[in-house]
Amino acid sequence: MTWRWIPPLTADGNRQMAIDRWMLAQQCEESGSPMLRLYRWSQPTLSLGRHQRQIDPRWMALAQQGRLRLVRRPSGGRAVLHSGELTYALACRPSTTHRLTAYAEVCQWLLAAFKALGVPLAFGSVKAAEAAQRGNCFASGTAADLIQANGAKRIGSAQLWSGACLLQHGSVLLQPSQGLWQEVFSSAAPDLDPLPELAVMEALQVAARDHLCGGDLQTMDLNASEWKQIQQLEGGAFLSP
């Protein structure tokens, strides 16, 4: 089946999360084709997993100061700081609904892209229960995450399932802001060499074509009708400080 490539979009967290939810809804329709996109955030944003209820007072303070937006993701996982990174989202029907197996299969294109960039990655080994005790997604690497040889986490991913349909999105760290990261998490950002956004985007698209979509990746912008559907999903993601 042909995969649809939605060109990169820069927007606020509320709109980005609405598009991701829309992608999953479209995939669950019988005629829905798999979709993939990369996107940027229009301002520094902290996204929280759908089940993450504890909000650090520092995050609220930064939001009140207008230095950070808080948004709720439709997927699980811990807090992710979207600044100096690139986010991907895909919606498809994997060959299996077994969560870890699906992660392993769906992440092959990410592994291929970073291998081509000369930055080999591997799956993390931290138990999910242990990672759940931490508020920061990048504080540990589970089997759903991709880490470098030095143990630093480069990509953190999360899922939302609707029957056999999967929404998976993740944060690809390029050059996170050390200062803001320290303020948000009271810890240093992962020890990663900076990567140029354009080179990463190109490597990801090529790897997606060859290792995710079977060579069939069709570029198609969102049309007016689709934007109308997406706009109806907006409004519930932002968290008030």
Catalytic residues: 137
Residue type, 214: G
Paired tokens of 43: 């301002």
By residue count, the chain amounts to: 241
Task: Answer yes or no: are the C-beta atoms of 46 and 71 closer than 8 Å.
Answer: yes
CB-based burial label for 197 (10 Å; 0-12, 13-18, 19+): middle
Task: Answer yes or no: are the C-beta atoms of 150 and 193 closer than 8 Å.
Answer: no
In which element (H, E) is residue 146 found?
strand 145-147
Tell me if residue 165 falls in helix, strand or coil. Answer: strand
Question: Helices (H) and strands (E) in the chain — how many of each?
Answer: 8, 11
Tokens 């592994």 belong to residue: 111
